[in-house]
Amino acid sequence: MQEFNAPGANPLSKYFRQPKLYINLPSKGKFYKPGAIDMPETGEVAVYPMTAKDELIMKTPDALLNGQATVDVIKSCVPSIKDPWSMPSIDLDAALIAIRIATYGEKMDINAKVPKVGTEKTFQADLNDILGDLAMANYDTTFRSGDLIMNIRPLSYREFSQSSIKTFEEQRVFALLNNNDITDEEKLQKFNESFQKLTTLTMATLTKGIVSIEIDGELVTNAVHINEFIENSEKSFFNDVLSHIEAQRNKFQVKPFVAQSEPEEIEAGAPETYEIPIAFDNSTFFA
């Protein structure tokens, strides 16, 4: 009998869990740092079901808050993504939905109240349809505003996470302003500080996503110069940039589920169809 005790390839690897599905990432593998993704020739990455260990990390609040749970689970279930922190944020929902399909199947229950009637109902969303929509969306990296041509990129999961945490912290400060132990002057001061921080954060997030600006054949890629330019730009230009970036982000948002009312519900005042937002939280992500 041959004994395997040496480091290297694990002889038991053929008994490891098998991929449940293969998906096209919305980014098609673009925007990753070199070495952060091992893209197969087919362009489709394998997705494995979560193990019990993965499920436990996804139920750890601190790991969820700082993004580590998501990173660990993506590493475990989509091993082609070597460095999930540098994954473009547009791939995030698709990766998590694919993991959800691989683990619990393609149907996901959504609970909602029928408008005007108020009765609770459970619908089943087909996650394959949602995944298909995300994979079809296209991120437009270039747009023009006047004479300027802007090249943008989606934020990485690390940048997205850091920005979400900072926003969350500042929102907590707003919540503290209801505290009666603080004087009105202090409240105003804290509000102004927090508001200023949030504005700076919005600007920083925006400029991080700008790769270059092209004007009169000159290409500006220096982040400091781009930052300065954005801070000193006209409002209309700033709004153009913001709306283009938001439009790109919206393409990769999960569309709401369209529910059909029953004839008796319509008779009771419900609309024929209504939209239910699909949110992936702890109660829906796990079967």
**Binding to another protein by residue 214, rule CB under 8 A?**
no
* 89 forms part of the interface with another protein (CB under 8 A): no
Among 34, 35, 61, 263, binds another protein (CB under 8 A): 61
In the three-class reduction of DSSP (H, G, I as helix; E, B as strand; rest coil), residue 273 is classed as strand
Q: Which is nearer to another protein, 23 or 50 (CB)?
A: 50
Assess contact for 39 and 80: CB atoms under 8 A.
Answer: yes
Binding of another protein at residue 51 (CB under 8 A)?
yes
Task: Measure the CA angle with vertex 142, ends 155 and 236; round to 5°.
Answer: 90
User: Quick one: which segment of 48-56, 107-115, 133-141, 143-151 binds another protein (CB under 8 A)?
Assistant: 48-56
- Please report whether residue 68 would count as binding another protein according to CB under 8 A: no
Burial-class residue 51 by CB neighbours within 10 Å (0-12, 13-18, 19+): middle
Nearer to another protein, 61 or 263 (CB): 61
- For residue 95, the cross-strand partners are none
Phi, psi of 121 (to 5 degrees): -135, 155
Place of tokens 């990769």: 252
Q: Rule CB under 8 A: is residue 84 a binding residue for another protein?
A: no
Measured from the Cβ of residue 155, the count of other Cβ atoms closer than 10 Å reads: 20
Closest CA to 54 of 100, 89, 12: 100
List residues bridging with 107 in a β-sheet.
126
Identity of the residue, 119 or 171, whose beta carbon is nearer to another protein in the bound complex? 171
* Beta carbons of 221 and 207 less than 8 angstroms apart: no
CB-based burial of residue 133 (10 Å sphere; 0-12 exposed, 13-18 middle, 19+ buried)? middle
Residue from 28, 33, 53, 113 that binds another protein (CB under 8 A)? 53
Contact pick of 21, 36, 55, 201 for another protein (by CB under 8 A) = 55
Q: Which residues in the 161-200 window bind another protein by CB under 8 A?
A: 164-165, 167-168, 172, 175
233 touches another protein (CB under 8 A): no
Nearer to another protein by C-beta: 219 or 287?
Answer: 287
Measured distance CA(179)–CA(182) in Å, rounded: 6
Compute the residue count for the chain.
287
Give residue for tokens 């601190």: 62
Query: In the complex, what is the shortest distance from the CB of residue 149 to another protein, in angstroms, rounded to a whole number?
Result: 34
What x-and-dash track marks residues 119-158 binding another protein by CB under 8 A?
----------------------------------------
Q: How far is the CB of 70 from another protein (least distance, A)?
A: 7
Residues contributing to the site for another protein (CB under 8 A): 17, 48-53, 55-56, 58-61, 64-65, 69-70, 96, 103-104, 164-165, 167-168, 172, 175, 279-282, 285-287
